[in-house]
Amino acid sequence: MVNQSEVEFVETIVPMDFNYNIRAGKPIEDYLRGMAQKKIMGSKCTKCGKVVIPPRNVCGVACGKMEMVEVDQTGTLQNYTIGHVKITKGLMEPVEEPVVLGMIQLDGTNSLLVSEIRGVDPKQVKKGLRVKAVWKESPEGKFDDLAYFELAS
Ligand SMILES: [Zn+2]
């Protein structure tokens, strides 16, 4: 019998690829339909007025119902990080140019959206920058139709 405390484990990374086909639910379906039209959809609480993206069915415990609203495509950078690697299927590899990942509060919303920010020197990035959405040329109703954000003029 092997004493478990004496067993040496060899660790490795095994890239895995999972594809799920699930019903997204009405709020996310509306969000993705909006993406196909280069619109960002959120939900607004009928009681407290908070607007969140992506949309959802309920605001919070014992709060109001949510109604679908289109939100602004400009916002303010609230936080960010500079990435020097990318992770694809669990494998990390260095990137040629640093990537700016921002947490953006779109105007009129109460939640944050995480997206890449392009066209800005990572050394010049700071909280409070004004940014706007940039879309894929031919959106397909997918999350990555909203390609990235750039500085708003
Ligand atoms: Zn509410």
Percentage of the chain modeled with pLDDT above 90: 75
Q: What is the CATH number of the domain that holds 128?
A: 2.40.50.140
Distance from Cα 52 to the centre of ligand 1, integer Å? 10
How large is the C-alpha radius of gyration of the chain? 20
Distance from Cα 49 to the centre of ligand 1, integer Å? 6
Dihedral (CA of 5, 6, 12, 17) sign: negative
Q: Given a cut of 70, is residue 1 above it in pLDDT?
A: no
Distance from Cα 25 to the centre of ligand 1, integer Å? 20
| Weakest mean pLDDT among 4-13, 90-99, 126-135 | 4-13
Distance from Cα 62 to the centre of ligand 1, integer Å? 8
Please indicate, yes or no, if residue 40 is contained in any of the structural domains. Answer: yes
Please indicate, yes or no, if residue 116 is contained in any of the structural domains. Answer: yes
Please, which residues bridge with residue 93 across strands? 86
pLDDT in tens, 51-98: 999 999 999 777 989 999 999 999 999 999 999 998 887 788 999 999
Domain count, the chain: 1
Please indicate, yes or no, if residue 123 is contained in any of the structural domains. Answer: yes
Q: What is the pTM of this model?
A: 0.83
pLDDT in tens, 32-45: 999 999 999 999 99
Domain extent at residue 73: 26-151
Distance from C-alpha of 146 to C-alpha of 139, rounded to nearest angstrom: 8
